[in-house]
Structure 1
Amino acid sequence: MSSPSFEIRGAVGTPTSPRWDRVDSRALIALARTIYFNYLSATPSGLEPVGAVVDLQHGEGRVAFDLPVLLPEEEFVGIELIRGRSPRGRNRCKG
């Protein structure tokens, strides 16, 4: 991987999870799911995204196929948060 041609002061690498202290998590994940499922509806055989970039202030976003560089008002929601947990991972009592 080559080094960037310039640096953005204050930028901290690639996003790994949203800044939970700054967002409404329920609204953020709901909007990310809407963006993801709209993508799936429009392109059922498309590439698999790594997550969604969400702007809660404007209620919009896009799917991301590589880890994105975010604008200050954007959050990255990884695909594992968008899809939710697998039922196989939960303990269920079948009595």
Structure 2
Amino acid sequence: MILQIARRLYLQNLERNLERNGCPEPLGVVVVNGGKSARLIFEAPVLLPQEQFVPLELLRNKPLGKSRSRR
């Protein structure tokens, strides 16, 4: 759930800033209280206990898991 929230925020930001050249790329997303709020992070964060940092590498790549193809 946290990864989904973070990925959604990242992709929304990417769509909004697609036409703008020179926009800084975020380092990741901080999700608060399991998804009550989230924000993009452009500098190394100092996290509070209820915050979780999701790095950009996890937001770009699809999660590893079972293949959905049926044989």
- Give the Cα–Cα distance (whole angstroms) in 2 for the partners of residues 54 and 38 of structure 1: 15
Structure-1-length-normalised TM-score: 0.55
Deviation at 1:72?
Answer: 1.5
Q: 1:79 aligns with which of 34, 56, 66?
A: 56
Q: State the partner residue of 1:12.
A: none
Structure-2-length-normalised TM-score: 0.71
Q: Is the 8 A contact 1:53 1:64 kept in 2?
A: yes
Distance verdict in 2 for CA 1:57–1:34, change over 3 Å:
closer
Deviation at 1:70?
Answer: 1.2
Deviation at 1:69?
Answer: 0.9
Is 1:36 the equivalent of 2:10?
A: yes
Distance verdict in 2 for CA 1:34–1:57, change over 3 Å:
closer
Higher normalized strand content (fraction of residues)? 2
Q: Structure 2: state its 5+ residue gaps.
A: 63-71
Q: State the partner residue of 1:21.
A: none
Percent same amino acid among aligned pairs? 38
- Give the Cα–Cα distance (whole angstroms) in 2 for the partners of residues 81 and 69 of structure 1: 19
Q: Structure 1: state its 5+ residue gaps.
A: 1-26, 86-95
CA RMSD of aligned residues (A): 1.4
Specify the code of the residue in structure 2 equivalent to 1:62. R
Structure 1 stretches of at least 4 aligned residues deviating more than 3 Å after TM superposition: none
